[in-house]
Amino acid sequence: MKILISGISGKMGQLVKSDVLLSNTFEFAGGFDVIEDYKGTMKFDAIIDFSHMSQTKKVIDFAVDNNTPLVIATTGLTDDDFEYIQKKSSEIAIFHSHNYAYGIQVLIKALNAILPMTDDFDIEITEKHHRYKADAPSGTAKTIMAEIKQHREEVKFIDAYQTKRQKNEIGVHAVRAGTIVGEHEILLASEDEMITIKHEALSKQIFSQGALRAAKFLENKTSGLYHMKDLV
């Protein structure tokens, strides 16, 4: 399977390239940072996008023009971007996730199993990333929030700096420091006990490998919007 990489010069683009070159399943078909600069002639079977949110719509249009499945791993996307992704998924197969780590999907499944049994527990969410991450809370934290909302429709998510918690308020903590790859923790606490669910990314390699699994998943799919939960 021939992979074209959008955002080839970035850290994640280079990781994907390295994984592709070491793989027996994938073949490197080139890459670009800005779509207007792409001069490649080699055929490709899927595009993996680890570029910048300013490029997302252009990359989607490029994928549509080439009738090629697209894996979107760029962070910081807007509601308008998501609407565009949804619209264009009727024309090509698109895979999108806020987090391509397999373990995050396991965490979400565990959370969904626990929530029905902990209606009276307070909840706090903490996410930690490196000092350069621009968006907060993280896309993964927003996914966790959406999962909780399905079980507790009345909840309100607030910035964690507020001290006292009102009923049905959930504090969301965003930490930006050092070179933290990514850490997400959900704390559930009652009067006398506490449950913690935590996922920590030890390297960015898991995101590259997850994106490649997503690309393989899209093989032979002609349209539709897919997510990591479809892989787990």
Q: Tell me, what DSSP letter sits at residue 99?
A: -
Among 108, 105, 104, 182, residue whose Cα is nearest residue 148: 108
Question: Length of the chain, please?
Answer: 232
Is residue 216 among the annotated active site residues?
Answer: no
130: its two tokens: 């490196």
Q: Across all residues in the chain, what is the average pLDDT?
A: 94
SS3 153: coil
Rounded CA gap, 40 and 51, in Å?
17
**Where along the chain do its domains lie?**
2-100+205-230, 102-201
- List 133, 142, 216, 227, catalytic entry: 133
The 10s digit of each residue's pLDDT in 12-61 is: 999 999 999 999 999 999 999 998 888 888 899 999 999 999 999 999 99
Query: Model's pTM, two decimal places?
Result: 0.85
User: Domain 2-100+205-230 has what CATH class?
Assistant: alpha beta
Among this protein's residues, is 133 annotated catalytic? Answer: yes
pLDDT (mean) for 128-140? 92
Is the CATH number of domain 102-201 3.30.360.10?
Answer: yes
Cα(208)–Cα(15) distance, rounded to whole angstroms? 6
Identify the active-site residue in 88, 129, 184, 199: 129
- List b or e across 42-66, with b for residues whose CB sees 16 or more CB atoms inside 10 angstroms: eebbbbbbbbbeebbbebbebbeee
